[in-house]
Amino acid sequence: MTGRIWMKTKSKVALSALTGVALGVASTELVPAETKPVAYVIAGNLVNNESGYANEFAPAIAKSIWAAGGKLLVIGGKTIPIHGKAIPRIVVSQFESLEKAEAWANASGTKAAFALGEKYAILNDFIVEGAAE
């Protein structure tokens, strides 16, 4: 008789443990993991040498963005001002996180590209944290 009680108890404990594991797995599938917001680098550049900017600076800065895992979202397309003056060249790139955008901005390749760009434009660059999802 004692053996049967022991087996029933073991079975109940095992079933309870499996139920707990199943509920835990189900709850992690239903509740999305919290993610860090992405970061954007927004540049509004006043270009004074279009040829140098397009042929030297733009490829160098794009290469540094791609090398750091960033994406170019806006590359100087048509700008329509709503308030204030239109800035001739707007560039927006996206990075996985604020930390990755800052690492890109502080990298030696990026700094070298910025030094090159300063010969052809007045650079105005900002890192902005995106909205949390």
pLDDT tens digits for 50-102?
A: 999 999 999 999 999 999 999 999 998 888 889 998 887 999 999 999 999 99
Is 70 exceeded by the pLDDT of residue 108? yes
- Can you tell me the mean pLDDT for 95-122? 97
Quick one: tokens of 101? 């955008």
125 within 8 A of 65, measured Cβ to Cβ:
no
**CA–CA dist 95, 68 (Å, integer):** 8
Residue 98 has, within 13 A of its CA and on its CB side, a CA count of 10
Q: pLDDT value at position 86?
A: 80
Contact between 114 and 61 (Cβ < 8 Å): yes
How does pLDDT run across 5-58, given as a tens digit for each residue?
544 544 454 445 444 544 455 444 555 566 889 999 999 999 999 999 999 999
pTM comes to 0.71
Paired sense of beta strands 125-129 and 89-95, if any: unpaired
What local confidence, expressed as pLDDT, does residue 124 receive?
A: 95
What percentage of the chain has pLDDT greater than the value 70?
A: 74
Here the tokens at position 24 are: 């835990």
CA nearest to 98, candidates 8, 37, 49, 56: 37
- Are 67 and 123 contacting, i.e. CB atoms less than 8 angstroms apart? no
